[in-house]
Amino acid sequence: MNHDQARYGDDDRYESLLSEKDTTRVDVDEASPLPAELTRDELELPGLSEPKLSRHYTRLSQMNWSVESGPYPLGSCTMKYNPSFTEAVAADPNAAVHPDRSPESVQGTLELLHALQDYLARIGGMDAVTLQPPAGAAGEFTGIHIAKAYHESQNHDRSEVIVPASAHGTNFASAAMAGYDVVELPSGDDGRVDLDALRAAVSEDTAALMLTNPNTVGLFERDIVEIAEIVHEAGGLLYYDGANLNALLGRARPGDMGFDVMHYNVHKTFATPHGGGGPGAGPVGVREELAPFLPSPHVRETDGEYELYDPEQTIGKVHGYEGNWLVLVKAYAYIARLGDSGLEDASAKAVLNANYLAEQLEMEIPYDPFHHEFAATAGDRDAADVAKRMLDYGVHPPTTKWPEFVPEAMLTEPTEAEDRQALDDLAAAFNAAMTDDESELAASPSKTTARRIDQADAARNPRLSWQALDES
């Protein structure tokens, strides 16, 4: 007896039920509308038992490095430890709100988003914030489009965006994708913006200068007020790449430095997940005169009620709904729990940890005084070889070969989350790898599951299925 027979009892009732079901069947045309080369008669899958499958994924997790394994000191594109309490908040059943519900039925959701907008605006010294962009690079793209819309509204014919040579590659891409010609700005001898080069680069064609402060090698742009004046006098806007905002929390704000628009990398500054293609978040803050161009919808509060509205000159949507809601919940939880003093303390420890680690290294660091990150040089060694050798000492290496104006660069950022023992272990691995002979470096890593791979080929020709691996 099957389930339906057990439920309906006698055989006659069951046969009647089957008859009723038969009358509701829908005939389906078996001919596929897809081209023959895109169809198949059967789905070939690997034949694995449950224990074998479970052990396979457990083994993969043990082979992988993560922030739960140890420090991940990748300078610039830093991944830091995400505290578990933010995950718990996002996993609360009350946070499982469908985005298609009416604003009247999700007042708590909109209140949290509105509060996060306010937090970020005050932290960045901005007047308004959108939470919609789904990643830092998407935030850049959004910010540049807001700047473009502003210039168009003022009948400004602007065709160029200035980007420092040391900037993230996404800065160049965001400006180009927005339709601008990119003007590359060389660094000065001290690693900062060369003011003479900037004066020569700005013109009536300048739409914006994209800048992060502190910059890629951790140096604070001490001439930032003058930089802002140069850009503004030319009629351009100053864009803040929020990659290094974690070095400034509680001490300085981009808006106070003269920046007009900025994005926030909440994955580093406010401990939301990073990497893997998302979902992420890249909120964008703007000065008051740029607020009308924010993406739609935007959250506002009127007489104690929260609503979604379209800014009057909105650039439109850049992502679905109001953004990646659960990622934003994590950012809100982190900021709310730490508060002003906690965020300031996190910033102080990020700077302290970078400087402590650097003091332990037997390597040259050409640019200082730095803040949250530094660029050491491997000298006559190949930085990539040194990094691969560090894997044999049980740590994850830093970013290598970038920025290019530091020879054999090893760009390092330990973040505020690491304790002294972790920093000492990192320093020991740096120093040991730097003293190993060339043959050991060339053969490394020798103690990892995967040996030296062709990184370029792996990036350009990834094998992402078991069939592709089987065919290789």
Average pLDDT of the residues in 288-302: 97
User: Looking at per-residue confidence, does 189 or 27 come out higher?
Assistant: 189
pLDDT at 273: 87
Q: Which pLDDT score is estimated for 162?
A: 98
Tokens of 391: 């894997």
Rounded Cα distance between 335 and 328, Å, is: 11
In a shared domain, residues 179 and 317: yes
Split at pLDDT 50, 70, 90, the class of 277 is low
**CATH number of the domain encompassing residue 397:** 3.90.1150.10
Q: What is the pTM of this model?
A: 0.88
How far apart, in whole angstroms, are the C-alpha atoms of residue 102 and residue 351? Answer: 44
pLDDT for the residue numbered 26: 56
* Residue 291 shares a structural domain with residue 366: no
pLDDT at 393: 97
Structure tokens at 195: 């003011």
374, part of any domain: yes
The answer to whether residues 170 and 263 belong to one domain is yes
Same domain, 321 and 399: no
Q: How far apart are CA 30 and CA 371, in angstroms?
A: 65
Q: Which long-range contacts (CB under 8 A, 24 or more apart) does 310-316 make?
A: 313/149, 313/153, 315/142, 315/145, 315/146, 315/149
Q: Give tens-digit pLDDT for 47-105.
A: 889 999 999 999 988 888 888 899 999 998 778 898 999 999 999 999 999 989 999 99
pLDDT digits (tens, 9 = 90+) for 381-396: 999 999 999 999 999 9
| Mean pLDDT across the chain | 92
**What is the C-alpha separation between 169 and 462, in angstroms, rounded?**
22
Structural domain for 207, as ranges: 85-337
Which CATH number fits the domain that encloses residue 162?
Answer: 3.40.640.10
Residue whose C-alpha is closest to residue 338's, from 83, 67, 14, 18: 83
C-alpha to C-alpha distance for 472 and 466, rounded to whole angstroms: 10
Q: What is the mean pLDDT of residues 144-166?
A: 97
Query: Which residues 6+ apart lie within 8 Å of 371 measured at CB?
Result: 214, 218, 219, 220, 244, 247, 350, 351, 354
Same domain, yes or no, for 393 and 297? no
Mark whether 314 and 379 lie in a shared domain.
no
Q: Is residue 247 part of a domain?
A: yes
Tell me which of 337, 362, 391 is where a domain ends.
Answer: 337
Ranges 92-101, 275-284, 362-371: which has the least confidence: 275-284
If asked whether residues 195 and 205 sit together in one domain, one would say yes
How many domains does the chain contain in total?
2
| pLDDT above 60 (res 114) | yes
- Sheet with 409-412: list strands edge to edge: 374-377, 409-412, 399-400
Residue 7's pLDDT is what? 47
Identify whether 407 is part of a domain: yes
Residue 237 corresponds to which amino acid?
L
- The answer to whether residues 331 and 362 belong to one domain is no
For residue 466, what pLDDT band results from cuts at 50, 70 and 90?
A: confident
> Is the predicted pLDDT of residue 3 greater than 80, yes or no?
no
**Domain end among 316, 337, 358:** 337
pLDDT at residue 405, as a whole number: 92
> Are 138 and 283 within one domain?
yes
8 pLDDT band (50/70/90 cuts)?
Answer: very low
Give residues with Cβ within 8 angstroms of 144, minimum separation 6: 161, 174, 175, 178, 180, 208, 210, 239
- Is 18 a residue whose pLDDT tops 80? no
Residues 8 and 17: beta-carbon distance below 8 Å: yes
378 in a structural domain: yes
Q: Are residues 193 and 299 in the same domain?
A: yes
| Residue 115: both structure tokens together | 């509060």
Same domain (yes/no): 352, 288: no
The last residue of one of the domains, among 297, 319, 337, is 337
Asked if the structure places residue 20 within a domain, the reply is no
In a domain, 385, yes or no: yes
Same domain, 313 and 361: no
Residue 40 lies in a domain: no
What was the pLDDT predicted at 5?
47
